[in-house]
Structures are given as C-alpha cells and as structure tokens.
Amino acid sequence: MREIIFDTETTGFDPKTGDRLVEIGCIELVDRRETGVTFHGYFNPERDMPAAAEAVHGLSIQFLSDKPLFATRVDELMEFLGDAPLIAHNAVFDFGFVNAELARAGRPALDMGRMCCTVQMARKLHPGAKHSLDALCTRYGIDRSHRIKHGALLDAELLAHLYIEMTGGRQIGLGLASSAAGSASLARATSAAPRGHDRPFREPRPHMASAADLARHAEFVAGLNQPLWLDTV
C-alpha cells in the first residue's frame, strides 16, 4: 500500500485571508516503510513574509523571491501524490493551504476523503496528553535533536517515523506483510479460524491442582521453619 506523509510551511494561518503556501515536503511510504522517494519544493508566495511566520520556519521573502510559483510545479506535485492516502499532522490545515493553491492554479481540490490526520489519531490513542509533533516524538522516542526550526521535509520525515510507530511500529507483521499476498496471509494467520472437521478433537487439559497436589502443598507449608509471612501476623 502506498501512502504519502506531507507537511507544509506557510505565511500564516488562513489561506482565506491571503496567507500562502511557501514550502511542501512529501515522503513516500510503501507497506508502511519509507522508500527514500520524496518531493520537496519552495514557492514564491508573491507577498511579504510576516515576522511571526519567519520566526517559526526561517524562510524569508528574500530567500523565496527567486523560487518558482506553486503553479509551475503543480503537475509534478500531483503526479507524485497520485491517488495515495495523504497523512499530515493537523491535516485540515495542510489540506486547506494545498487546496487554496490548487484553486489558484485552476486545478481540482484534493479529496478530503484521502485525508488522515495524526493529531486525531493521537487524541484517540492518548486522550488528555499533548499532541504536538514535538510532544509525540518525545513520547515515542523519536530523535528530533536536529530540528532547530520547522521545515516541511524535515517535519514530514519526523511524522513518517511517528506514523509508523503510532500504527504498530516497524516490526508489525514481522515483515510478512511486504506484499498484498503477504498481507492476506498475515490476516489469515492471525484470524480466529473455526475448527474444521479434519482437525482432531482434543480434550481440554486440567489446570486446577488435584486433591493430592493440595495435600502435598499443605504438608510442605507445615514443615517450614518460621515462614516470613507469619512475621506480619
């Protein structure tokens, strides 16, 4: 199964008020494993960069001024995304900005049915806990020491590690599900299949102590010299 983990950086919080997408980073997973195939792009937002936003991601308008417009690379991005499920942290935010840029480029919006939000996943797994990317990386032991500022590709890489851990870890299936056939075999192996007529019936084995066992135990306890539990009596 192919999935795409992605993250964005922007000029602000709301594309409806003129904020723009300035960076996107995408990581390809196949059968929940990173393939090493990525998509990354910086984009000229055709506007200023608020100081508060620059403080978060470090992308100045001077740096972005010679970068391509989103529309210039939209075909490349859409080809990379394909029809795969799209996983993001606080995914409604990222989908909103990508869809706003697609609308400006005259392209159809991403189907929200493809969206998987790791914040929503974390709320179900860890109710009441902090659900930021930093907090979840700490919870799952994911090293983020190299993360000085936000960056779309770096954050997508961290999120890929987090998503894998949140959905069972790297050893789920012990590698048996590396293909569609393997996935089906694993599902069959772990399902509770009914007993067929060709399997021999086995009488249930007794697990309770017999009367003789209880008598031997009582005799053993009676012969103990000053057992410790009597000190509390």
How far apart are alpha carbons 105 and 206 in whole angstroms? 72
- Tell me the pLDDT band of 230, cut-offs 50, 70 and 90: low
Alpha carbons 56 and 53: distance in angstroms, whole number: 5
Top-confidence range, 20-34, 161-175, 193-207:
20-34
Percent of the chain past pLDDT 70, that is, above it, reads 81
pLDDT in tens, 215-227: 888 888 788 887 7
In this prediction, residue 148 carries a pLDDT of: 67
Q: Strand 33-42 and strand 115-117: pairing?
A: unpaired
The whole-angstrom separation of Cα 89 and Cα 229 is 55
According to the model, what pLDDT value does residue 203 have? 64
**Averaged confidence pLDDT in the chain:** 86
**Element (H or E) spanning 173, and its range?**
none
Q: What is the pLDDT of residue 227?
A: 73
User: In whole angstroms, what is the distance from residue 36 CA to residue 64 CA?
Assistant: 26
Tokens of 73: 């690379």
Helix axes 91-104, 118-125, angle to 10 degrees: 170
CATH of the domain spanning 2-168: 3.30.420.10
> What gap in Å lies between CA 205 and CA 4, rounded to an integer?
50
CA angle 204–191–188, rounded 5-degree value: 125
Would you place residue 157 in the very low, low, confident or very high pLDDT band (cuts 50, 70, 90)? Answer: very high
Letter string b/e over residues 72-106, b meaning 16 or more CB atoms within 10 A of that residue's CB: ebbeebeebbeebebbbbebebbbbbbbbbbebbe
Q: pLDDT tens, 43-62? A: 999 999 999 999 999 999 99
150 is catalytic: yes
Task: State how far the alpha carbon of 207 is from the alpha carbons of 95, 96, 143, 146, in Å.
Answer: 57, 60, 47, 55
Of 58 and 202, the one with more pLDDT: 58
Q: How do residues 108-120 score in pLDDT, each as one tens digit? A: 999 999 999 999 9
Residue 43 and residue 64 in contact, taking contact as beta carbons nearer than 8 Å: yes
- Residue 104: pLDDT band (50, 70, 90) is very high
Q: Of 57, 89, 131, 150, which is the active-site residue? A: 150
Mean pLDDT of 200-228: 75
What pLDDT score does 130 carry?
95
pLDDT tens digits for 53-97?
Answer: 999 999 999 999 999 999 999 999 999 999 999 999 999 999 999
From CA 6, how far away is CA 28, in angstroms rounded?
9
36, burial (CB in 10 Å: exposed 0-12, middle 13-18, buried 19+): exposed
In this prediction, residue 209 has a pLDDT band, given cuts at 50, 70 and 90, of: confident
